[in-house]
């Protein structure tokens, strides 16, 4: 179970003032659930994901994973405790091969051909074409993103956080990806936290959290929250309507 | 050969026993073992130290191993090796030098290799340099390699120096005739107070000649590296120089790639980049459960793979 309590993350702005990126975020995700975090750009979704992984150190609040307080653990220790995070914009590595990166993710010296094939197929890539490729600028953004997601599948951590996994991915691979999320969810092998704006991914959620301006503004079951999100996507500008949107 | 010498042979040539095909082992400045084949002959020079390696025209799929081991401290070994590769031959040549220095005196090996590669022949040349030993004496390697490719001939050179060499000055000159190809993959890592200098010159002399230099290096500690790859195009040819370096600690790396077009049809490109390990690469590997040290090692290992 993931328990986030009163999480805060502030940074010092250029003018010397404080910017509150996360303001008192609390969330509880039950084991094996699939939670989608959505909301407008700049609302704090990625910051929240990074803070759970330890890439940002919160300025207040706590994060517990399976009963253990991980708030002050290093990134490495959180990873070992079972937290994983697929980057929104994954880095490229000159010379490092896809097979090596996946083996590192799986915590093994080397992957069997079957394992390599399994992880890449789940993100819509053919192992034959990709396993010996380098994770460098020869890969397109979409290919890199799918390999990033494959590293999280290879890790098999108890908590999988995906940050806009659909970004830059073609329709066919996206269909494969949603199948993969659905399968993980069904087997209950991991708790899934997915930042997404895609209706097809939102439709997979048990619960939805909407994060805006550093706060959870809506939280509840998909059935309850999804219609509210859809209502807000109806064209029209709140400013012209006198701020009623 | 002693056990220590075999250990070094494993580092430089991945040999655990005498290899298939032709070989010539040089240990502490003298011939240790040699084997020739029906197609590959090796003879000692009579006027100076070194060997002549002659590969018959049309020889396919054979290899020659010519490793050098220095395990006696204070030895300076200079050898002149000449390779004559017959037309249409296709061979692998594995060279390399390993030093195990237990004393306080300098051990030095300067290998001067000259390749004459006949028409349409193909050569894959692998050279590894390695030093070790508890002694305080320096390990110095100053190789000079000259390659003359005839029409349609090609050579791929993999030159690697990963550890234990205190000082090296490497000079490589390649002349490529029409339709020929030269690919140089250079990998270098220095640490401590080591210094390394690599000067590569490829001259594309004929139409359709191709040259590539792909150099990757890592500088650690207070080590210093200097690269001077130069690609000269004298005809309708294509040349590409790519130097990438990772800088760590207080190391210094200077990269001076040059392209010299002497024909209006020459297409020459150079790229060079030096920088620290990207922070997001380290963070990604931390999120996979590696420590910062492990992450750095894996990034370097991949970079120099």
Q: Which of B286, B288, B303 sits opposite A151 (nearest CB)?
A: B288
Q: What is the pLDDT of residue B230?
A: 96
Q: How many CB atoms lie within 10 A of CB B238?
A: 18
B290 and A76: CB-CB below 8 Å? yes
pLDDT confidence of A237, banded at 50, 70, 90? low
Is 50 exceeded by the pLDDT of residue A157?
Answer: yes
d(CA A19, CA A115): 44
Q: What is the pLDDT of residue A245?
A: 42
Is 90 exceeded by the pLDDT of residue B1?
Answer: no
Displacement of CA B39 from its chain's centroid (Å) = 25
Q: What is the pLDDT of residue A172?
A: 87
Mutation target for A interface from B288, B296, B298: give the one with most A CBs within 10 A. B288
Q: What percent of chain B has pLDDT over 70?
A: 100
Q: Measured between CA atoms, how close is A143 to chain B, in angstroms? A: 17
pLDDT confidence of A242, banded at 50, 70, 90? low
What tens digit of pLDDT does each residue of B137-184 get? 888 989 999 999 999 999 999 999 988 899 999 999 999 999 999 999
Q: What percent of chain A has pLDDT over 70?
A: 95
d(CA B136, CA B163): 15
What tens digit of pLDDT does each residue of B21-33 get? 999 999 988 888 9
Q: What is the pLDDT of residue A243?
A: 46
Query: Is A55 in CB contact (< 8 Å) with chain B?
Result: yes
Q: How many CB atoms lie within 10 A of CB B119?
A: 16
Per-residue CA distances from A67 to A28, A59, A62 (Å): 12, 21, 12
Q: What percent of chain B has pLDDT over 90?
A: 75
Dihedral (Cα; B37, B43, B44, B47), 10-degree rounding:
-170
DSSP A168-194: T--HHHHHHHHHHHHHHHHHT-SEEEE
Query: Is A53 in CB contact (< 8 Å) with chain B?
Result: yes
For residues A162 and A83, is the Cβ–Cβ distance under 8 A? no
B287 and A94: CB-CB below 8 Å? no
Across the range B202-216, mean pLDDT stands at: 97
Q: Which of B280, B287, B302 sits opposite A95 (nearest CB)?
A: B302
Mutation target for B interface from A73, A96, A100: give the one with most B CBs within 10 A. A96
**Residue A101 phi/psi, 5° resolution?**
-65, -40
Across the range A239-245, mean pLDDT stands at: 51
Provide the whole-model pTM. Answer: 0.86
Across the range B127-134, mean pLDDT stands at: 87
In this structure, which long-range contacts are made by residues A117-123, counting pairs with CB atoms below 8 Å and at least 24 apart in sequence? A119/A150, A119/A153, A119/A154, A120/A147, A120/A150, A121/A176, A122/A150, A122/A153, A122/A176, A122/A177, A122/A180, A123/A147, A123/A149, A123/A150, A123/A153, A123/A173, A123/A176, A123/A177, A123/A180
Mean predicted lDDT score pLDDT of chain A: 92
Across the range B66-76, mean pLDDT stands at: 87
Nearest residue in chain A measured CA to CA from B279: A91
Q: Which residues of B touch A (CB under 8 A)?
A: 216, 244, 278, 280-281, 283-292, 298-299, 302-305
């Amino acid at each position: 179970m993931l328990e986030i309590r009163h999480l805060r993350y502030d940074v010092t702005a250029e003018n010397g003032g404080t910017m509150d990126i996360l303001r008192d975020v609390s969330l509880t995700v039950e084991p094996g659930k699939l939670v989608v975090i959505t909301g407008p750009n700049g609302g704090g979704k990625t910051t929240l994901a990074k803070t759970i992984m330890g890439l940002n150190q919160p300025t207040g609040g706590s994060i517990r994973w399976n009963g253990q307080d991980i708030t002050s653990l290093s990134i490495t220790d959180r990873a070992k405790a079972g937290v994983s995070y697929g980057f929104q914009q994954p880095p490229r590595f000159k010379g490092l091969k896809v097979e090596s990166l996946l083996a590192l993710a799986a915590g093994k010296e080397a992957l069997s051909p079957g394992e390599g094939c399994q992880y890449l197929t789940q993100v819509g890539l053919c192992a034959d074409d990709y396993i010996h490729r380098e994770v460098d600028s020869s890969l397109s953004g979409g290919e890199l993103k799918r390999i990033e997601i494959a590293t999280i599948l290879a890790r098999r951590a108890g908590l999988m956080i995906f940050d806009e996994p659909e970004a830059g991915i073609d329709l066919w691979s996206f269909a494969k990806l949603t199948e993969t999320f659905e399968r993980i969810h069904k087997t209950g092998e991991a708790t899934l936290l997915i930042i997404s704006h895609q209706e097809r991914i939102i439709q997979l959620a048990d619960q939805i959290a909407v994060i805006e301006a550093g706060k959870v503004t809506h939280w509840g079951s998909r059935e309850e929250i999804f219609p509210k999100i859809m209502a807000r996507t109806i064209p029209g500008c709140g400013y012209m309507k006198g701020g009623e949107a | 050969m002693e056990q220590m010498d075999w250990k070094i042979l494993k580092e430089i040539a991945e040999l655990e026993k005498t290899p298939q095909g032709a070989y010539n082992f040089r240990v502490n400045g003298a011939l240790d073992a040699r084997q020739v084949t029906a197609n590959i002959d090796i003879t000692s020079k009579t006027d100076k130290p070194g060997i002549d390696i002659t590969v018959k025209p049309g020889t396919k799929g054979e290899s020659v191993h010519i490793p050098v081991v220095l395990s006696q401290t204070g030895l300076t070994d200079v050898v002149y090796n000449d390779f004559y590769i017959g037309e249409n031959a296709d061979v692998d040549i594995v060279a390399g030098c390993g030093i195990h220095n237990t004393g306080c005196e300098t051990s030095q090996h300067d290998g001067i290799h000259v390749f004459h590669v006949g028409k349409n022949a193909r050569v894959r040349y692998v050279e590894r340099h390695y030093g070790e030993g508890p002694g305080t004496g320096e390990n110095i390697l100053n190789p000079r390699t000259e390659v003359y490719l005839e029409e349609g001939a090609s050579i791929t050179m993999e030159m690697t120096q990963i550890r234990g060499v205190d000082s090296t000055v490497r000079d490589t000159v390649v002349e490529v005739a029409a339709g020929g190809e030269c690919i140089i993959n250079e990998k270098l890592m220095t640490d401590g107070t080591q210094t390394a200098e690599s000067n590569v010159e490829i001259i594309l002399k004929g139409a359709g000649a191709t040259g590539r230099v792909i150099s990757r290096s890592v500088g650690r500690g207070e080590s210093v590296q200097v690269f001077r790859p130069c690609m000269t195009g004298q005809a309708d040819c294509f040349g590409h120089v790519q130097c990438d370096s990772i800088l760590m600690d207080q190391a210094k790396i200077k990269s001076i790639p040059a392209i010299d077009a002497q024909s209006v049809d020459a297409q020459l490109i150079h790229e060079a980049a030096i920088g620290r390990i990207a922070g997001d690469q380290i963070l990604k590997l931390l999120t996979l459960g590696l420590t910062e040290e492990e992450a750095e090692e894996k990034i370097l290992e991949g970079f120099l793979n």
